Chains A and B, each alone.
Chain A
Amino acid sequence: MNASQRARPGMTRTSLTALLATLWLVGCASPANREAMVPTDVTAARPHPHSVSVLASGGADTGAMDSSNIADEDLKAAIEEAVTRNKVFTSVVQGKSGDYELSVRVTRLTKPLFGMTFTVEMEAAWSLTRVADRSVVLRRSINASGSAGAGDSLVGVKRLRLAVEAAARANIAEGLKAISALTL
């Protein structure tokens, strides 16, 4: 048995350990964090003296073998928090008891597969309906993007999640600005 053959079992063990260590360090993809999707820089032109309920759809859960996605319930919670924090409406209510119904549907979430700086593009269909007469007071397709670079995280799956959250944050900010500009 030569030296290289003798070294092989040890090498295999070391390689396996290195692989497991890397997988442990990297981990699986995690979903976009609802708190991280809340924009704080929306200056409401005029807080609407009404209540609103929020519906979110078009998102997807993040599977163990998947890349970061936005779950509907996290998007809904982020929008509700953003509405409250930025005083866009007087109050956020659950169910259909509000004066207005805000529906936000993710129609496209374009994520890169490889790279150092990840840029994610998100398109969402925003509609605001007056509950009393079911009239649609806003209907808009909003496109926004968010990026994360190596300075944000060296781990690819985390960097992608940060970019997804940044895209969602920008999209929510854009949507709430459009609502703030309305006269209700």
Chain B
Amino acid sequence: MKKALLLLLQLGVVASIATGCAVNRATAHVEPGTRLSEIKTVHVKKFASDNADTDRLIADKLRTKGVSATTGTAPANKVDAVVTYVEKWMWDITMYMLELTVVIRDPKDDYPLATGNSYHTSLTRKSPREMVDEVIDNIYKEQGQ
């Protein structure tokens, strides 16, 4: 009986601190009126808690789309768009990127012009490069490019 109470207590603690289970998801949206083909220069703003040089991976991927991309905290020159991202990591035997959100913004007012998000849990985990590829490809696919 004591063991059962202990187990119930442990499960209660887990239920208390955990927010729920997880799913796999990949979404993208491009704001009406935005033409990604007209975005030729971007600056990828480094995320403060970047664990995998994701800014460089995003810049590399954008270059394959014909976009000139720089990385760092602030752009050196005027650019057509600023790219921000948020990555979330999880541990399951090893660390892996659980979620990546990439937002392409108007540099004038930070308004989101296009957004992509991928969420993959442990069993279908992807490398940071694969996550970046999926998110950026989905954004461009959304506009049929």
B residues less than 8 Å from A58 (CB atoms) = 29, 115
Query: Given A105-B112, A140-B109, A111–B19 Cβ distance below 8 Å?
Result: yes
Known A-B contacts A11-B4, A105-B29, A125-B112; the reply to A65 vs B19 at CB < 8 A is no
Q: Which of A17, A28, A141 is the one whose CB lies under 8 Å from B112?
A: A141
- How many chain-B residues does the 8 Å CB contact rule pick out? 32
Chain A proximity mask over B1-44: 1 for CB below 8 Å, otherwise 0: 10110011001100111111111010101010000000000000
Cβ B12 vs Cβ A22 within 8 A: yes
A-B contact count (CB 8 A): 106
How far is A111 from B109 in the complex, measured between Cα atoms in Å?
A: 25
Q: What interface size band does chain A fall in?
A: 35 or more
- A35 at the A/B interface (Cβ < 8 Å)? no
- Tell me if A94 is interfacial: C-beta within 8 Å of chain B: no
A19 to B20, CA, bound (A): 15
Q: Does B71 contact A (CB under 8 A)?
A: no
Closest chain B CB from A120 CB (angstroms): 10
**Contact between A63 and B23 (Cβ–Cβ < 8 Å)?**
yes
Residue-wise interface mask of A (113-125) relative to B, using a CB-CB cutoff of 8 A (1 in contact, 0 not): 1111010000101
- Candidate in B4, B20, B27, B90 with the most chain A CB atoms within 10 angstroms: B20
Q: Which residues of B contact A15 (CB under 8 A)?
A: 4, 7
Nearest CB of chain B from residue A119's CB, rounded to whole Å? 12
Interface residues of B (CB under 8 A from A): 1, 3-4, 7-8, 11-12, 15-23, 25, 27, 29, 31, 86, 88, 90, 98, 101, 103, 105, 109-112, 115
Pick 24 A–B contacts, CB within 8 A, sort by A: A14-B1, A14-B3, A17-B4, A18-B4, A18-B11, A21-B8, A22-B11, A29-B19, A29-B20, A58-B29, A58-B115, A65-B23, A105-B112, A107-B112, A110-B86, A113-B18, A113-B88, A113-B98, A125-B111, A141-B109, A141-B112, A156-B16, A156-B18, A157-B20
Interface residues of A (CB under 8 A from B): 11, 14-15, 17-19, 21-22, 25-26, 28-29, 57-58, 60, 63, 65-68, 105, 107-108, 110-116, 118, 123, 125, 139-141, 150, 154-157, 159-160
